[in-house]
Every structure is written in structure tokens, then in C-alpha cells.
Structure 1
Amino acid sequence: MDENTLKLLVRLTQEGQLSPLEEQISSGGSAAAHTVGSKHFGRSGDTLLHYAARLGHLNIVEYLIKQLGVDVEVYNNDYKRPLHEAASMSHKECVSYLLQNGAKVDSLKKADWTPLMMACTRRNLEVIQDLLSHGADPKLRNKDGWNSFHIACREGDPLVIEHLLLTAPDVWRTESKTRRTPLHTAAMHGCEEVVRILLERCGYTRDGTDSCGVTPFMDAVRNGHVSVARLLLELHQASPVAADVLGAQPVHQVAVTGQEEALRFLVQELSVDVNQRATDIQLTALHYAAKEGHASMIKTLLELGADLRVRDKKGRTALHMACIGQHAETVRMLLLLGLKDSEDASGTTARQLARKPGAVQAFQCGLSES
């Protein structure tokens, strides 16, 4: 078959047009039919069966397997089988058919993802149940150390989480290669109902940390999920002042990510010290916010009592940090707020750190207006 005919076959498959597809393939004879069935297309190396499974065209899936004898375990350049495709797109009928016709339930694609892991990226409990009923192992881990439960906790469907725990009660006892637990994942993504289930049904250690020393509470607040943070405080007695491996506490982390509501929650409701220092360099939340260029966060910090003139261990003020980050508007704002240029412990002024044209100009404008 010529290139145009092959492109037509792909299009007909993707559109789910079985009759025209059969006609085109039949016109080429039995040898052509065999060739087409095993043909890999494009950079991905997908076959017609991959296309049909991905798009949920069960009639074409049946035709390719039964009539053309396409191998149900055929894989593309990423080692994805048709079952991966159908599971990832929640096509239950295709998933069931592929499993009934010999598809291996725990086949691995690139990065060691199973069809069940792919299914858990969606909120389709029926597909997940079908895979589990055929023996899928929810405890298998991919190259990053994530199992299916980890992935489901990221998506946040309580029904899926409940079913996985029912099927494999110990599935929550897992960590990624960076020691992140499903509780970290659910907290980071603001999946409040899932966090509640994990806290009520699983035995996670209070303030358990990943390899960077980050706790689920930190994940929640630095991503702005205050309701999840409240839940962790209520049900897990999480610490609002625990520090990561660099000594940064939640108050510093929210300054980095610019989460003002979370900052107010920490300072006003939990009485966290807004001027608390982090790391051996003694940075404050104000330093972090200035380095990231969060002008609005700086204003909120000052409103909550942050000391504008505080210096870190190297003698740097927030103005130095804003210049290091080359944040022109933040530099200008700090100068207008009354922060003067000065030398740090090494004798370097903030102005000397402003290298990009915008930051230099902001410095000049700020000095003239202050």
C-alpha cells in the first residue's frame, strides 16, 4: 500500500469508520492485511490497534484482533500496549475486551507504568475495578517509585481511594524514590476528601517528611490549600513550624510561592512569627518574597509585622534579594517604602547586584522618587 492509503487507514481508524476501513484493507489482499495489522505509524510507532483502543472504537478493536489477527500485546516506541491506551482514556468496553482476549494486565510501558496506573490518572472507578478483578497489582511501582494509589491520590477521587484500600488495605504504605507518600501527594494537590480518608484510615506518621524534609502540611500551605492544612492540624496535629532540610518553615515556603491567604492563616490564626528566620543564612519570609519578586506578598508581610530592615547572616536586606532576583518592580517598591541602599557583610551594595537593565532603571527611578 502506498503512503496515502496508509494515511487514509489511520484516519478511518481514528474516526471509527469500520466499513470503509474493511473495504480499504480487503482491497489489498491477505498479504496487505497482514502488513497493515502490524504496521507502526509515525514517531510514536502506534499501530491501528493503538489508535482504536485510545479512541474507544470497540468495533475496530474487535475487527483488528479477530479478523486481522493483530497481536493484543503489540507495543509502540514507548512500549505502550493497546491496554495502556484504553485504560488511560477510560474506555471500559475496550479494556474488558482486550483483557478477555489475552492482554497482560500488568504489562509495563516506558517508565514502568502499568495499565492500572494509567487508569488511575482518570476518575473512572469501573475501569479500575475491571483491571483489579483481572489481577492488576496496585502495589507495583513505576521508575519514580509511585504506585497506583499514589497516582489516584493525586487525582483525588474518594471512591477510587476507598476501593483501592478495600482491595489492598496496605497499599498506602508506600513512598516514592524521594520518600513522598500518598498523603504528601493528596495534600499538595488540595484533595481534601482524600486527605481526610488517609488520615482516618491509614497510619501515617505525624509530620512525615520527604527527602527534602517537606511535610504534608508544608505541601498544603505552599500550594494555597488552607482547608487541607486545617484538616492536617485537626486530625494529625501537624506542626505549623516544622522545618525542612534547609531550615525553611511553612511561613517561608508560602512567601516563596506567593500564597497570601496561607500566610495570613499561619500568622493571624496560628500565631507563627512572621520574622522567623530560616537556614544558617538566617533568611526571613521577607527575604524569600523579595528574591521571588512577589511585591504583593511583601506588602502583606509588612502589614503582618515583618521587619523591612532585617538582615540575613550575610548582611543582606530584602532590597539585596530583590536585586539578586533582578525584579525591577520589587526593587522600585522597596525603595519607595523607604528601604535604603546599603552594603552587605562583604561590602556589596544592593545597587551593585542589579545587573539587568530593568532592575538598574528601577533602582534609579526608585531613588529619584524616594
Structure 2
Amino acid sequence: MAEREGRRLLRLVQEGRLELLRAELRPEDIPEARSWRWGRLGDTLVHHAARLGHRDVLEFLLRELGMDLEAANGDYKRPLHEAASMGHGQCVSFLLDSGASVDCLKKGDWTPLMMACTRRNLQVIRSLVEHGANPLLRNKDGWNCFHIASREGHPEVLRYLLDVSPGIWDTESTVRRTPLHTAAMHGCSQVVELLLERCHYQPDSRDRCGVTPFMDAIQNGHLDIARMLLEKHQACPTAMDALGAQALHRAAVTAQDGSIQFLVSELGVDVNARATSLQIPALHYAAKEGHAHTIQTLLALGADIQAKDGKGRSALHAAVAGQRAGAVRLLLRAGLRDGADGSGTLAWQLARKPQVIQAFQESQGTT
């Protein structure tokens, strides 16, 4: 069949125009049509019908033309993956009733149930589980469907999964992140509340980097979740990660000024607390990232502008090491001088970008 005609038939499938498709896809075309593939991943007509939710077209392709129910594209996605990921309940039910493998794996070891949990369609999820989908299967990153629903912020899906598999919450990814970490990081407050009510996560559980759910909430600016973890889960606001950094330092890196205000003003966290074996203050982290407003916030909260880390470096050294001209200007105007670090290196000697060099020249009145 000519490529042009094949593309017309593909368009009819995509538009769900069954009668035209039935009229134009003639019996003599069927053997050839079964092998047609489109796009980078090599999707079949069945993939397209399932992805777009055309159940009648799907039935025509499978039952009348005998196309492959389990055809896999380049990512090993089956038609069931496509229908589940897009929340097309009728297509999912039809494929399952037609004998589709309920726990087939696509690239990354994702099942159709995992794909379904990226959406809020409980009907699809229920249909997959009732046809035998295993909720405890994990993908290559160690996430099961409960973990995925926690990221997406779907409390009603999580309640259902807990009802059908009460122990499903007790899972960690390959880097030891729990669903509570994930929900806190993504700001899913309803999910966090549900997890704290129905699950049994240890307070301040740590991932492989030593990050707690509280740190995740703070460094992403989710103060409602941070408060919830403090009140209902006894989170420790000064817990340290694997490198010795507190939530304060992580908030300085991500420029979460509101989180910094909350930690210092409401919780009494020491604004000059040091992190890692190098004894680095939060001010240095903000300076290295070039977060001028965060530098101002820390200084207003009492950060010591003259503080040096374990190698004798000031915040000015950190700003120049990151080649952050705006932060350099701010620190110089705030009164921080270009002193030497523990090795005798002056901050300006680290300057590489013209804007950073100009900032020093301006402070010395040489431009």
C-alpha cells in the first residue's frame, strides 16, 4: 500500500472514524496493515486507537482484522499501557476482557497500573486491579504504583490502594525514598496528611543522601507540609543529611526565603549553623548560588557576614567561586571586604567572568 494511503488510514484511526476506516481498509490490505508502524517508536494502529480512546476502532482492529493485542513499540509499550496512561476506561476494560496481559512491562519496568496511577481515574485503576494487576510490583527506580500516586497527589487513589493492599505503603525507591518523601517534595498536602494518618513511616526517615521529608518540604517551599510534619510526625527541624547540612542550608541553596524565615524566626534555628565537615554557613550556600535576595534575608535574620568556613573562606569567596556578580556586588556593598582565605587567596583572584571582575573594580572606584 502506498505511504500516502497508509497515512490516510492512520488519520482515520486517530480521528476515530470507524465507518470510513472499515470502508477503506480492504481485506487485501489486512496482512500489510498488521505490520504498519509509525513514528520514532514504531506505534501500530492499535497503539494509536488505544491512546486516543477509540474503543470501537480498537475492537474493529483486533476482532475484525486480527491485529496483535500485545504488539510492543520501541519502548515496549503495549496498547494496554497506552489506554491506561491516558485514562481511557472503556478501552482498558475491552483490552483486559480480550486477554491483554495485565502486568506487561514497558521500558523502565512500568506496568499499566503504574501508568494509570499517573492519573486520577479510579475506574481504570480499579479495573486493572480487579483483573489481577499486582500493586506491589516495582519499576527500575524501585517505585510501585503507590509511590507514583503519592507523587501525583491523588488521595482517593491512595485510599483505594491501601484498602486492596494494606502494606503497600511500606516501600522505598532504589535511593531509599518513601512515598512520604515524594509527597512532601511535590507539595501534595492532602496526600501527606493521609500518609501520616494511615501509614507508619518513621519520623525523619532518610533517603540515601540523608534527606528527610521535612527537608524536602522546606527546600521546596511547602511550609504547610513542613508544619504538618512537625505537628503530626515530630520531625526534627535541625536534622542533618548525609553531608551534615540542615534544612536551613538546603533552603539557602534553593532560595526558599519563606522557609528560611520560618526556620529561624518561628522555630529558632540558628541562622549561623554550620554544615558539613567544612563548617559552611547558610550564607555561603546562598552566595555560591548567586541568590541575592536570599543573602539579604539571611543577613536581616542575623547571619554573620564576616563568618568563614573551615578553610577560612568568606561568603565573598563563595560568590566569586560561583562567578555570581550580583552576589559579589551585594556582599561588597554590605561591608564584606576582599580578605584572604586560609590559603592566602584573595576573593578577586578567583574572578573569571568580566561581570565579576567589574564588580570588584566598581567597589574600588577604578571603573
Report the CA distance between 1:24 and its aligned residue.
2.3
Q: Distance in 2 between matches of 1:42 and 1:183?
A: 38
Name the residue aligned to 1:360. Answer: 357
**AA matched with 2:240:** A
Cα pair 1:292 1:322 within 8 Å, conserved: yes
Report the CA distance between 1:9 and its aligned residue.
1.7
Q: Distance in 2 between matches of 1:185 and 1:255?
A: 20
- 1:265-322 per-residue CA deviation (whole Å, 9 max, x = no partner) reads 1011100000000001010110000011100000000111100110001111111111
Cα pair 1:293 1:330 within 8 Å, conserved: yes
3-state DSSP class of the match of 1:187? helix
Q: Distance in 2 between matches of 1:42 and 1:92?
A: 25
**AA matched with 1:170:** G
Q: Distance in 2 between matches of 1:64 and 1:316?
A: 69
Q: Tell me, which stretches of 5 or more residues in structure 2 are unaligned? A: none
Cα pair 1:331 1:366 within 8 Å, conserved: no
Q: Distance in 1 between matches of 2:136 and 2:243?
A: 32
Q: Is structure 2 residue 120 aligned with structure 1 residue 129?
A: no
Structure 1 window deviating more from structure 2 (333-342 vs 178-187): it is 333-342
For residue 94 of structure 2, the aligned residue among 74, 94, 97 is 97
Pick closer, same or farther for the CA change 1:21–1:366 going to 2, 3 Å. farther
- 1:316-358 per-residue CA deviation (whole Å, 9 max, x = no partner) reads 1111111111111111111111111111111111111111122
Name the residue aligned to 1:20. Answer: 20
Cα pair 1:154 1:189 within 8 Å, conserved: yes
For residue 262 of structure 1, the aligned residue among 244, 259, 263 is 259
Q: Distance in 2 between matches of 1:278 and 1:367?
A: 32
Q: Distance in 1 between matches of 2:356 and 2:11?
A: 53
Q: Distance in 1 between matches of 2:194 and 2:309?
A: 42
Q: Distance in 1 between matches of 2:69 and 2:365?
A: 73
For residue 139 of structure 1, the aligned residue among 125, 136, 140 is 136
Q: Aligned ranges for residues 1-370 of structure 1 at < 5 Å? A: 1-26=1-26, 29-30=27-28, 32-368=29-365
Q: Percent identity?
A: 60
Q: Distance in 2 between matches of 1:189 and 1:307?
A: 32
3-state DSSP class of the match of 2:275? coil
Aligned residues: 367
Report the CA distance between 1:364 and its aligned residue.
1.8
3-state DSSP class of the match of 1:131? helix
Q: Distance in 2 between matches of 1:233 and 1:278?
A: 22
Q: Tell me, which stretches of 5 or more residues in structure 1 are unaligned? A: none
3-state DSSP class of the match of 2:118? coil
Q: Distance in 2 between matches of 1:349 and 1:22?
A: 78
3-state DSSP class of the match of 2:30? helix
3-state DSSP class of the match of 1:263? helix
Report the CA distance between 1:369 and its aligned residue.
9.2
Task: Tell me the TM-score normalised to structure 2 length.
Answer: 0.98
Report the CA distance between 1:73 and its aligned residue.
0.8
Q: Distance in 1 between matches of 2:359 and 2:62?
A: 67
Report the CA distance between 1:203 and its aligned residue.
1.0
Report the CA distance between 1:16 and its aligned residue.
1.5
Report the CA distance between 1:59 and its aligned residue.
1.3
Q: Distance in 1 between matches of 2:2 and 2:349?
A: 66
Pick closer, same or farther for the CA change 1:366–1:135 going to 2, 3 Å. farther
Pick closer, same or farther for the CA change 1:327–1:60 going to 2, 3 Å. same
Report the CA distance between 1:227 and its aligned residue.
0.3
**AA matched with 1:207:** D
Structure 1 window deviating more from structure 2 (137-146 vs 32-41): it is 32-41
- 1:38-83 per-residue CA deviation (whole Å, 9 max, x = no partner) reads 3221211100110110111111111101111011111101000000
Cα pair 1:276 1:284 within 8 Å, conserved: yes
Q: Distance in 1 between matches of 2:342 and 2:85?
A: 56
**AA matched with 1:2:** A
- 1:224-255 per-residue CA deviation (whole Å, 9 max, x = no partner) reads 00000101011110000000011000000000
Pick closer, same or farther for the CA change 1:24–1:366 going to 2, 3 Å. farther
Q: Distance in 1 between matches of 2:355 and 2:9?
A: 55
Cα pair 1:52 1:60 within 8 Å, conserved: yes
